[in-house]
């Protein structure tokens, strides 16, 4: 018998702050998920997974290290140098890790792009450009052709790149957060879902906004927000991060943004994410201008 999604989330998230490190627990001390914002008409069946799940919990098919706050592991508010804002976890238990854009079932960079998310198929060639300075890794017309070149050069040794999980670890160890606006997901339908838009994203809004504000208003350090696509830009604007940074005296001097199309976005002319400026080089440019250390993408 189904129960309200709100009730299922309340039960799942009881004691949720126990999953956080002391630094993040302190930053979010006065914040709670907005259970009242979850549409009361949304239903949840007992067999439906809510994912990623809590730290230390497992569900069939989930990546080994997946959990709700995976994006915050091994770092604290003082360490963050760059933030990539995604929308929500991949609608597949085996893909969703808790870090935006990371595909949890990938152990290697596979030659068949059909087995790789559309977003990663574009993110990785852009990373290759940032690492090598070779713009030919991003094919402005055909994303699959760009992917084929990356995989071929990885196989030959002409390009060096960590394996998928290690690459996201590498970024996170440098203080890069790949953070979704909605930290969990359940029932999903392509093209949009009430569970997503009227459930999980409103639920997590105050928590994610508090994370972003804590970083944007901290007394030291520099951060660049990478806003990929209209959803990320809208979420940033609606969260009041710019105004909070202005009030704290950090806007533009220690907090800045770069924008690009969403990685999966294309039009008749090809992948929009491949257009100049390269988002990773652009982020490093901003960090340099603020007097901060660049990220080794």
Q: What residues contact 95, with CB distance under 8 A and at least 6 apart?
A: 63, 89, 103, 104, 105, 117
Q: How far apart are CA 251 and CA 249, in angstroms?
A: 6
Give me the mean pLDDT over the 94-112 stretch.
97
pLDDT tens by residue, 37-71: 999 999 999 999 999 999 999 899 999 999 999 99
Q: Are residues 248 and 221 in contact, defined by beta-carbon separation less than 8 angstroms?
A: no
Give me the mean pLDDT over the 122-137 stretch.
97
Chain mean pLDDT for the chain: 95
pLDDT tens by residue, 89-98: 999 999 999 9
Strand 43-44, strand 3-4: pairing: antiparallel
pLDDT tens by residue, 249-297: 999 999 999 999 999 999 988 899 999 999 999 999 999 999 999 999 9
Q: How far apart are CA 216 and CA 244, in angstroms?
A: 7
Task: Identify the band that residue 194 occupies on the pLDDT scale cut at 50, 70 and 90.
Answer: confident
Res 190 pLDDT > 80: no
- What is the reported pLDDT for 195? 87
Cis peptide before 52 (omega within 30 of 0): yes
Res 191 pLDDT > 50: no
In the chain, DSSP finds a helix count (H) and a strand count (E) of 10, 8
| Cβ neighbours, 10 Å, residue 97 | 27
CA-nearest of 65, 62, 84, 85 to 74 is 65
Q: Half-sphere exposure of 207 toward its Cβ, with a 13 Å CA cutoff?
A: 25
Higher pLDDT, 3 or 191: 3
* DSSP one-letter code for 179: E
DSSP 3-state assignment of 168? helix
- What is the reported pLDDT for 1? 84
Q: How far apart are CA 33 and CA 186, in angstroms?
A: 16
- The partner residues of 180 in beta bridges, in order of sequence, read 86
pLDDT tens by residue, 232-252: 999 999 999 999 999 999 999
Give me the mean pLDDT over the 63-86 stretch.
97
pLDDT tens by residue, 142-169: 999 999 999 999 999 999 999 999 999 9
Q: How far apart are CA 32 and CA 155, in angstroms?
A: 47
- What is the reported pLDDT for 269? 85
Task: Identify the band that residue 192 occupies on the pLDDT scale cut at 50, 70 and 90.
Answer: very low
What is the maximum alpha-carbon separation in the chain? 57
DSSP 3-state assignment of 57? coil
* Residue whose token pair is 């890794």: 137
Q: How far apart are CA 210 and CA 213, in angstroms?
A: 5
User: Percentage of the chain with pLDDT > 90?
Assistant: 94
């Amino acid at each position: 018998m189904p129960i309200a999604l709100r009730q299922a989330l309340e039960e799942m998230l009881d004691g949720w702050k126990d999953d956080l490190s002391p630094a993040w627990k302190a930053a979010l001390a006065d914040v709670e998920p907005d259970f009242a914002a979850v549409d009361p008409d949304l239903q949840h069946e007992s067999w439906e997974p809510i994912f990623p799940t809590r730290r230390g919990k497992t569900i069939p098919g989930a990546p080994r290290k997946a959990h709700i706050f995976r994006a915050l592991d091994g770092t604290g508010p003082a360490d963050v140098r760059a933030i990539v804002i995604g929308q929500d976890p991949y609608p597949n238990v085996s893909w969703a890790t808790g870090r935006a854009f990371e595909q949890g079932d990938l152990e290697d960079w596979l030659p068949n792009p059909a087995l790789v998310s559309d977003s990663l198929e574009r993110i990785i060639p852009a990373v290759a450009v940032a690492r090598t300075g070779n713009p030919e890794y991003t094919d402005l017309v055909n994303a699959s052709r760009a992917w084929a070149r990356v995989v071929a050069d990885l196989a030959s040794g002409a390009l060096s790149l960590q394996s998928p999980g290690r690459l996201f670890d590498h970024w996170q160890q440098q203080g890069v957060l790949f953070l979704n606006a909605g930290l969990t997901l359940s029932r999903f339908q392509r093209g949009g879902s009430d569970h997503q838009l009227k459930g999980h994203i409103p639920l997590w809004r105050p928590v994610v906004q508090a994370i972003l504000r804590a970083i944007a208003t901290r007394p030291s350090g520099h951060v660049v927000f990478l806003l990929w696509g209209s959803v990320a830009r809208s979420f940033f604007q609606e969260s009041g991060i710019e105004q909070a940074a202005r009030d704290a005296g950090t806007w533009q001097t220690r907090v800045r943004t770069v924008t690009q199309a969403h990685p999966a976005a294309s039009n008749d002319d090809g992948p929009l994410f491949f257009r100049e400026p390269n988002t990773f080089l652009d982020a490093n440019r901003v960090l340099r201008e603020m007097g901060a250390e660049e990220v080794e993408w």
